[in-house]
Amino acid sequence: MSIIRKTAAYILLISIYGFTYLIALLGSIIPHRSWMPTGRIMVTGTFHNPNWYLSHVIPLTRSGFREVILVVDEPQLPLEKVRFVCPPKWVSRLLSRAGAKTIWMTIAGFRYQPDIYMGYHLAPGACSALVAGKLWGRPSCYQMTSGPVGIIGGGVDAIDSVGGLLGHPSKLIEAMAIKVASKFELVVVRGKRARGFLAAHDIKDTVAIITGSVNACPQIPQIDRVIHLVFVGRLSLIKQVHQFIEIIGAVRHIMPNVRAAIVGDGPLMTDLQTYAEKLGLTNNIEFLGKRKDVESIIACSKIFVLTSKSEGLSIAMAEAMVAGAVPVVADVGDLSDLVIDGVNGFLVEPNCIDEYTTKIMFLLQDPSLLEKYSLRAVETARTHCDIAVVSKKWQQNLQNVVLQTSGLNTE
């Protein structure tokens, strides 16, 4: 990685966090009058796939607000109560995608007067929401979807973000990021580990645990499922999909007819296909790309494998569990909030191919045990991530914030 890119990333993050914190301070000093809620939420972020988009946005549409305004690069799947606000392409080329969405969010905020501004990932999405919120005297929400990895060391291990370009950890940028995170009226995390990280930095009262949502679906008995192992996600460095391929290679030594599927697309697709071919696994692994029928593929899969370097609480994993696929996943992020080791799946020491292989074979060689784990996985996912449960949590937290900040709270 060139010194120029590292320096540019360093300067960019310091500029983003410095500017955002300054606006937040000024916004806190300037007195604001009470305001009448409009029943609107304004959200910005990048939605890499339809399932991720639906999992996050549908609960917001059912949270008691009349409209969800999405400031995004381009329109997504149309949903009831959702309005899309997209910057023109020439503005994105001129100011960058993130810069264009920040400007458009601020302009749209003046027009629509939302009750709360929300952003995914701290820089740039949540920072844009915080700036717009302070400028227009409204609360803001930071969705910490990937857990603390976007903050620790300045986000150096968040490979797919600006922080991933730093090359080495930055205590300064980490400290600035924490300062910015403390200025949100609501910080939504996916699980207990992320909440504990924020609490250790004295961010407590504004934090809520809300997962992504999943829909219940019909169950296929494990014995009738034709895919032994499945991975679902973006084919990027942070997902470490090459480890999934290595796991298939190890399992094949014991079970030559093992069948695996990789669902998703991304910058590493060609490299991963080449790697699978190099290991002689082309007859065992099927690269399915980006699909609209992900649910049906998962429903035909016995075990869901996740080898990520870091995660929040994976929506793909929750969707797999509710469909009855048993999770065998790295013990990272907030995955342990859903996966109870040795009960409804297995938590594996990160990067340990042998342990993945052992746990997978333990399940595949005992069909009755696999069926029990499958039923428990379904029950856990429904209890924690059902769309009705998640929508209710959003309703409670968003309405509390609006009530407290609008000046209408009479208590």
Distance from C-alpha of 139 to C-alpha of 323, rounded to nearest angstrom: 37
Instruction: Give residue 2's pLDDT band: very low, low, confident or very high (50, 70, 90).
Output: confident
Residues near 325 by Cβ (< 8 Å), separated by ≥ 6? 230, 298, 299, 301, 302, 303, 304, 374, 377
The angle subtended at Cα 173 by Cα 167 and Cα 177, nearest 5°, is 125
Say what the pLDDT of residue 217 is. 82
Say what the pLDDT of residue 159 is. 60
Instruction: Give residue 1's pLDDT band: very low, low, confident or very high (50, 70, 90).
Output: low
Instruction: Give residue 297's pLDDT band: very low, low, confident or very high (50, 70, 90).
Output: very high
- Tell me the average pLDDT of the chain: 93
The percentage of the chain sitting over the pLDDT mark of 70, rounded to a whole number, equals 98
Q: What is the pLDDT of residues 50-71, one digit of tens each?
A: 888 999 999 999 999 999 999 9
Q: Enter the pTM of the model.
A: 0.90
Say what the pLDDT of residue 162 is. 80
- One-letter amino acid identity for 150? G
Please state the rounded mean pLDDT for residues 64-93.
Answer: 95
Tell me the two tokens of residue 133: 């919120």
Please state the rounded mean pLDDT for residues 381-394.
Answer: 96
Say what the pLDDT of residue 130 is. 97
Q: What is the pLDDT of residues 225-279, one digit of tens each?
A: 999 999 999 999 989 999 999 999 999 999 999 999 999 999 999 999 999 999 9
Q: What is the pLDDT of residues 111-135, one digit of tens each?
A: 999 999 999 989 889 999 999 999 9
Domains of the chain in start order, with CATH, are 3-213+387-406 (3.40.50.2000), 222-384 (3.40.50.2000)
Distance from C-alpha of 6 to C-alpha of 165, rounded to nearest angstrom: 6
**Which of 355, 315, 354, 360 minimizes the C-alpha distance to 333?**
315
Instruction: Give residue 29's pLDDT band: very low, low, confident or very high (50, 70, 90).
Output: confident
Please state the rounded mean pLDDT for residues 24-33.
Answer: 84
Q: Is 60 exceeded by the pLDDT of residue 411?
A: no
Say what the pLDDT of residue 321 is. 97
Q: Write out the H or E segment, with its range, that includes residue 272.
A: helix 269-278
Q: Is 80 exceeded by the pLDDT of residue 410?
A: no
Please state the rounded mean pLDDT for residues 64-87.
Answer: 96
| 22 or 162: which leads in pLDDT | 22
Residues near 175 by Cβ (< 8 Å), separated by ≥ 6? none
Q: What is the pLDDT of residues 305-336, one digit of tens each?
A: 999 998 989 999 999 999 999 999 999 999 99
Q: What is the pLDDT of residues 360-384, one digit of tens each?
A: 999 999 999 999 999 999 999 999 9
Q: Is 70 exceeded by the pLDDT of residue 160?
A: no
Residues near 75 by Cβ (< 8 Å), separated by ≥ 6? 84, 86
Please state the rounded mean pLDDT for residues 82-100.
Answer: 93
DSSP 8-state assignment for residue 337? G
Say what the pLDDT of residue 32 is. 76
Say what the pLDDT of residue 105 is. 96
Say what the pLDDT of residue 126 is. 95
Q: Is 80 exceeded by the pLDDT of residue 31?
A: no
Say what the pLDDT of residue 107 is. 96
